[in-house]
């Protein structure tokens, strides 16, 4: 109905999560009417990020370097590895100021119904690092959802097989809640009260 | 906190209406994790639209041509001009199937408090076209909000000064409602019952 370039832009905007036809139309008109410079900046930022950002070779968080700032930081203790579902969870831990170990980012959780198995989450990489013997404790900080719990159980089993201490965040993480929305205090408490499983 | 390219992408996404820091983060991770091709397509579509799309020389709707498809259509009656706030309103009229004249898009409404005057809405262009004498009727289809009514009154005055019939959409447009969300039937009724003012 609109001109081809506008129709194409509206269609392209729908790649964003939660953006349906009406939102896409509103976004396209807003950009064209009021944010032309901002729209070009967005285009450049998208290209740079897609071109430059991949997974950290250490922890699998997003980074444009071979290793992220946390993995490169020699003051951090690589013997403790905190396993999280999302890079956003790292931010939550760092803001709580209560953790100085390393991380491992799954970018999701086990979900057989969606065809997401251990290798899709890099768990094979984690397993080979466990076999190398440098990791002494695995803190499982996946969400307290059904899938998050199942993922934690799966990784806990790998940890035990490799004679590594495996812990889970203590009570304090709300049931069904998402880690990245937790306040720092609650997260610090849950971390300090973690229990060996 | 995140790597520079990701921080930059999150910042750039906030140019989109209704997107705050949390939404921008969710969008950035979603694109990087699952929609890399879609993100590149979005970047290209943004560049093409910003580069190619401007206002129709006839009606000021968005188009990449000098004149939009409606203004170029010789079957449409240029003696009747329907004045709307947004290109989305044109879509609503066209879908109602009850209008075969031309349009004029304001891209907003008069809003002295935001410093938006007649020339920001192209009303000076409309005025010079009224003076040329080809337009016989102006249908004022701005929203039934306070600003939409004020804008309609302002343009009605110009129309009367140029001895043009000026009408306003009939009752049927919900008070305070936005035109683009109206169903075609209601809009067709409002158009057919329009009253001269
Ligand atoms: Zn890393
Ligand atoms: Zn036009």
User: pLDDT tens across B11-55, in order?
Assistant: 999 999 999 999 999 999 999 999 999 999 999 999 999 999 999
**Fold for the domain defined by A4-52:** Helicase, Ruva Protein; domain 3 (1.10.8)
CA–centroid distance, residue B172 to ligand 2 (Å) = 26
The verdict on a CB contact (< 8 Å) between A15 and B28 is: no
The structural architecture, per CATH, of the domain A73-168 is 3-Layer(aba) Sandwich (3.40)
The predicted model gives B171-195 an average pLDDT of: 71
Nearest by CB to residue A6, choosing from B11, B25, B49, is: B49
Window A:94-133, CB contacts with B under 8 Å: 94-95, 107-108
Best residue in A4, A9, A69 for a mutation probing chain B (most B CBs within 10 Å) = A9
Tell me, what's the pLDDT at A143? Answer: 87
- Predicted complex ipTM: 0.84
Tell me, what's the pLDDT at A172? Answer: 64
Entry pTM:
0.82
Q: CA of B16, closest CA in chain A: separation in Å?
A: 6
Tell me, what's the pLDDT at B68? Answer: 96
Cα→Cα distances B42→A20, B37, B123, Å: 15, 9, 33
User: pLDDT tens across B10-23, in order?
Assistant: 999 999 999 999 99
Strand partners, A55: A62
Torsion over CA: B154, B155, B156, B157 (sign): positive
The predicted model gives A123-146 an average pLDDT of: 93
User: pLDDT tens across B67-109, in order?
Assistant: 999 999 999 999 999 999 999 999 889 988 889 999 999 999 9
Residues 6+ apart with CB under 8 A from B68: A3, B56, B58, B59, B61
Tell me, what's the pLDDT at A187? Answer: 76
The answer, yes or no, to whether residue B197 has pLDDT greater than 60, is: yes
User: pLDDT tens across B150-165, in order?
Assistant: 999 999 999 999 999 9
CATH 3.40.1360.10 in chain A is located at: 73-168
Tell me, what's the pLDDT at A178? Answer: 74
Strands A165-168 and A137-140: parallel
The verdict on a CB contact (< 8 Å) between A62 and B32 is: yes
- Please indicate if any CB of chain A lies within 8 Å of the CB of B161: no
CATH 1.10.8.420 in chain A is located at: 4-52
Residues around ion ligand 1, judged by CB within 5 A, are A 56, 58-59, 68, 71
pLDDT band at A174 (very low <50, low <70, confident <90, very high): low
């Amino acid at each position: 109905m609109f001109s081809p370039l506008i129709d194409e832009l509206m269609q392209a905007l729908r790649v964003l999560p939660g953006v349906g036809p009406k939102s896409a139309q509103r976004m396209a008109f807003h950009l064209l009417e009021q944010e032309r410079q901002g729209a070009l900046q967005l285009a450049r930022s998208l290209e740079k990020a897609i071109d430059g950002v991949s997974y950290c070779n250490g922890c699998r968080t997003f980074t444009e370097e071979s290793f992220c700032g946390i993995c490169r930081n020699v003051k951090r203790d690589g013997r403790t590895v905190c396993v999280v579902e999302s890079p956003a969870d790292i931010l939550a831990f760092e803001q709580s100021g209560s953790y100085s170990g390393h991380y491992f980012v799954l970018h999701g959780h086990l979900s057989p119904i969606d065809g997401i198995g251990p290798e899709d989450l890099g768990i094979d990489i984690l397993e080979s690092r466990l076999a190398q013997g440098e990791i002494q404790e695995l803190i499982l900080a996946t969400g307290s959802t059904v899938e998050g719990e199942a993922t934690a159980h799966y990784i806990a089993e790998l940890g035990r097989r490799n004679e590594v201490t495996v812990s889970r965040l203590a009570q304090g993480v709300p049931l069904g809640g998402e880690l990245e929305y937790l306040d720092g205090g609650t997260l610090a408490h849950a971390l300090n009260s973690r229990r060996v499983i």
